[in-house]
Amino acid sequence: MTDNGTLGVVAVGASAGGVEALTQFASGLARDLPYAFLVVLHMPPNAPSVLARIVDRAGPLPAVTAVHGARLQAGTIHVAVPDHHLLVEDHRIVLSEGPTENGHRPAVNALFRSVALVYGQRAIGVLLSGVLDDGVLGSAAIRSRGGTTIVQSPTDALFASMPLNALEAGVTDREVLAAEMGGVLKELATREFEEPGMDPDERMEVENRIAMSRRFSAEIDAGVLGPPSGYTCPDCNGSLIAVSDGNYRCRVGHAWTADALLSARDEEVEGAVWVALRSLQEKATLSRRLAERAGAGMMARRYIQLADEAEHAMTVLGDRLPKAHSASGERGG
């Protein structure tokens, strides 16, 4: 047991389809599980914070909205609040306004990384339904510190991308139905720990400090984490650092995985196409008005040609918009 009376911490991460998965997960938990639970669901920053009530009704363990500074205790589920990372330090909850990760705050990767550093072997990561590759880096962090990772079976998830990406990355130890994870946790509670010494992971510690930083803080320069990647951050347009393969951060701390960055680029492209479409529409309308005013002659023909060219370009862009939207939807949910 740790000095706060728990065997360790179970960090649970979910995104799209996560409410259903979390209720199934909570329903299968036993009252005597010797773990503190921390739950992150990717949610909009202004979303109402009702998830704790939903999870509380779903199973036998009490679920509460996470409170900054609260001490972790076995048998309680602490649920993240909107627009704050859910982290741990000295067996207490830290609610942080640090930089977003994959556009999210709270973020699954930030939670998993935090519990990996604090709890090591005693950290268990549970990855549920969601899109893109959120949670893959966090699961890898938990395993690198001797912890255990469990993933919801993709066939059991409403959105299978997150579980599938974790399985394909080889960062999971068990694949289970959400409702059956309580039994796996009970089995894991019988383990004995040798508590081997582990070398510090400086990069992981820097990323954790970035997540714990204040909003708009520039105290930590993420540039120390790696070389320039050649890409720019969708959040602030700053240059992105290649922390590792498929893992990027800008200098002020925003984090992106390759899949999330690609999805953000789709959104940027679609936004740019809409701006271009509006500009071409205005150009065509104005050109035809000028042609009417010019009457017959060379100037009128020039304006008509400009209008025709703008309308042709509108047709081409109009064909591009559904494709951009479809690609973004497939990756980003």
Per-residue pLDDT tens over the stretch 284-327: 999 989 988 888 888 888 989 999 998 888 888 777 666 555 55
Q: State pLDDT tens for residues 196-254.
A: 677 888 999 999 999 998 876 666 767 778 899 999 999 999 999 999 888 999 988 99
Residue 75: which region, alpha, beta or left (left: phi > 0; alpha: psi -120 to 50)?
left
205 and 117 Cβ atoms separated by less than 8 Å: yes
* From 15, 129, 213, 328, the catalytic residue: 15
266 vs 261: CA distance, rounded Å: 9
pLDDT above 70: residue 175: yes
pLDDT at 330: 46
User: CA-to-CA distance for 50 and 68, rounded, in angstroms?
Assistant: 17
pLDDT band at 54 (very low <50, low <70, confident <90, very high): very high
* Residues 39, 228: Cα–Cα separation, whole Å: 33
Residue 333: the pLDDT is 43
134 is catalytic: yes
Instruction: Decide if 205 contacts 191 (C-beta within 8 A).
Output: no
Rounded distance, CA 213 to CA 222, Å?
Answer: 12
For 133-182, give the secondary structure using H, E and C. Answer: CCCHHHHHHHHHCCCEEEEECHHHCCCCHHHHHHHHHCCCCEEECHHHHH
d(CA 217, CA 325): 34
The predicted structure's pLDDT at residue 78: 97
Check if 3 is active-site. no
- Choosing from 42, 78, 84, 254, the catalytic residue is 42
244 SS3 class: strand
The DSSP code sequence of 67-102 is -TTPBP-TT-EEE--TTSEEEEETTEEEEE-PPPBT
Task: Give kind and range of the element (H or E) at residue 11.
Answer: strand 8-14
**Residues forming beta bridges with residue 152, ordered by sequence position:** 176
The full set of domain ranges for the chain reads: 8-188, 221-253, 260-332
- Choice among 83, 84, 129, 134 that is catalytic: 134
Q: Which CATH fold topology does 8-188 show?
A: Rossmann fold (3.40.50)
Residue for token digits 């409403």? 158
User: Is 15 among the catalytic positions?
Assistant: yes
pLDDT at position 265 is: 85
Question: What's the rounded Cα separation, in Å, for the pair 111 and 126?
Answer: 11
